Amino acid sequence: MPPTARPATAREVAAALASAPADEASRLIERYAEDPRRQVMHAIEVARRRLEREGAERERVEASYRLMRELGGEGIVLGVDEVGRGALAGPLTVAAVALPDDPVVWGINDSKQLAPARREALAARIADVALAIGIAHVEPEAIDAVGMAVSLRQAMASAIADAGVEPDRVLIDGNPVHVHPRETCVVKGDARVACISAASIVAKVTRDALMVSYEDDYPGYHLAESKGYGSAEHVAAIRARGLTPIHRVSFCGNFLETPRLF
C-alpha cells in the first residue's frame, strides 16, 4: 500500500489560505471549516475577509462598466477627464479614453483613490487594451490668457479629436461643458464610470511624468513632489525665487507682490 500522505500542519494550511486565488481559497475554507486548530481558524477568518473585499472590488469595477454602457449605449464611448485644474504650475491636461467591454481593466478607479505605482500599472494596462486614447495639454500662458473655463473646453475638444475616433457618446466627469454634441456629464464620474476612470488615470500619469521632468529644468521648486500644486514647499520657493515660465501668473498673485520670471 502507498504511504499515507502526511496531514498538513496548521502553518501550511494558513500559508495556503493566505496565498491562494479566490477559487482555491474558497475550496480550502470549505475543506478546513471544521478544523479546530487556532491558527487554521484564524487563517480561515482572514481569508474570508479577503474574499469579501475582493468580491466587493470586483462588483465595483463591473458596476462601472455596466454604467458606462447604460449611459453610453452601444458603439464607441469616450470617457473624458482632466487633471491640473487647480495647480500653480504646469499645464491643464485632459485625456479621452474608449474602453472595450472585454478585457476588463480590474482595479480601475478615480486616479485620486490610487497609489502612484498602482496608477502607473493601470495606465500601462489601459494603453494595452484601449480602443482609443487622446491627450491634450493647455499650457500656463494660454490659461493666463483665456481663463480656466475656456482652457478646459479647448483641452477637452483637443483630447477628443486626438483620440482619432468618432464617438457615439462622450462621457465627461463633472458638470456640463458643452464641448461635444453627444456629451453626457456625470458627477463623480471618475469613480463611477469605467471609461472616465481610465481617462482620469491616463491624464494623471501623463501630467505627473511631465511635472517630474520639469524638476531638472527648474530645480528648487519641488515640482516632482508637488506636481505643480500649492504645497508649502512650492509656495515658499515661489516667494523666494519668483515665477518660472511654467507657472500660471494669474494663479500666483497671492504669493508675490510683483510676479517675477525665473
Helix residue ranges, H only, the chain: 10-19, 22-31, 38-72, 116-129, 140-146, 148-162, 189-192, 194-217, 223-226, 232-241
Q: With bands split at pLDDT 50, 70 and 90, how would you rate the model's confidence at 167?
A: very high
Q: State residue 23's pLDDT score.
A: 85
DSSP 105-162: -TT---GGGS-HHHHHHHHHHHHHH-SEEEEEEE-HHHHHHH-HHHHHHHHHHHHHHH
Q: Give the pLDDT band (50/70/90) at residue 125.
A: very high
Give the model's pLDDT for residue 6: 78
pLDDT at 257 over 70: no
In the predicted structure, residue 260 carries a pLDDT above the cut 80: no
Task: Compute the residue count for the chain.
Answer: 262
pLDDT tens digits for range 169-178: 999 999 999 9
22 confidence band (pLDDT: 50, 70, 90): confident
The separation between CA 248 and the C-alpha centre of its own chain, rounded to angstroms, equals: 25
* Residue 1: pLDDT over 50: no
CATH for 74-201 is: 3.30.420.10
**CA pseudo-torsion sign 90, 91, 92, 93:** negative
Q: Mean of the pLDDT values across residues 225-234?
A: 95
Query: How does DSSP classify residue 100?
Result: -
Segments making up each domain of the chain, as ranges = 10-68, 74-201
Distance CA 143, CA 163 (A): 23
| Average pLDDT of every residue of the chain | 93
pTM > 0.75: yes or no = yes
Task: Find, among 176, 164, 108, the residue nearest to 133 by Cα.
Answer: 164
Determine the average pLDDT of the residues in 147-151.
96
Whole-number CA gyration radius for the chain: 24
DSSP state for residue 73 in the 8-state scheme: -
Band of the pLDDT at 195, cuts 50, 70, 90?
very high
Three-point CA angle 166, 94, 114, nearest 5°: 115
